[in-house]
Amino acid sequence: MQQNYCIKADGLRKAQGAFLLAKKMGLIDDPSMEGLEARRQKHNEMLKMMEQENKIFYGPRYFSAPAYLQYELTRLKLDFVQPSEAVRNTGLCPEFTEQEKKTFYEQNMDLFGRYFGDFFTYEEVAQIIEKRLREDAYDKLIEDVLREFEDGK
C-alpha cells in the first residue's frame, strides 16, 4: 500500500521501527503500513459515530493519513515514556537509579536554566529527567528493533 504520509524515508523507517517495537510490547497487532491505515480507518469511524451520537469529544473529527501517523507515533512514545503496568511488564522499559538521573542532571545543566540565569533544582526536574532518559531508551530500542528486522530480511 502506497500512502502519502508526508514524511521522508528516514522518518518512515523510524516509524516502522516504532510500530515493530509496539507490536513487541503488545500495544498493536499489525506493525505494517496497512495495519496503520486500518487503525486510522477504525479510529475515524469511531470519531464519526461519536459525532453522530452527539457525544462530546475533543480533538479532530477526522484524521488524514499524515495526521494519524503523527498521532500514533506520539501515542506510542508516550506509552513508553509514561509506562503502564503492561509496558513495564515487557521488560523493555528501563528503570533508572537516582544516581543515573543525578548524573544526567549534572551533565546537562544547560537544559535546566531559567531566563535570569538560575537553575531548577534536581528535585524540581527529577521526573522530567526520567522521562528524557526513557525517550533516549525508546529511540535506542527502535534502532535495535530495526537492525534485528533488517538483518532478518
90 class by beta-carbon count within 10 Å (0-12 exposed, 13-18 middle, 19+ buried): middle
State the residue for C-alpha cell 469529544. Answer: 57
Q: Largest Cα–Cα distance of the chain, in whole Å? A: 54
CB 40 within 8 A of CB 99: no
pLDDT in tens, 74-123: 999 999 999 988 899 999 999 999 999 999 999 999 999 988 889 999 99
Residue 148 CA: distances (Å) to CA of 22, 89, 133 = 15, 21, 23
pTM (two decimals): 0.87
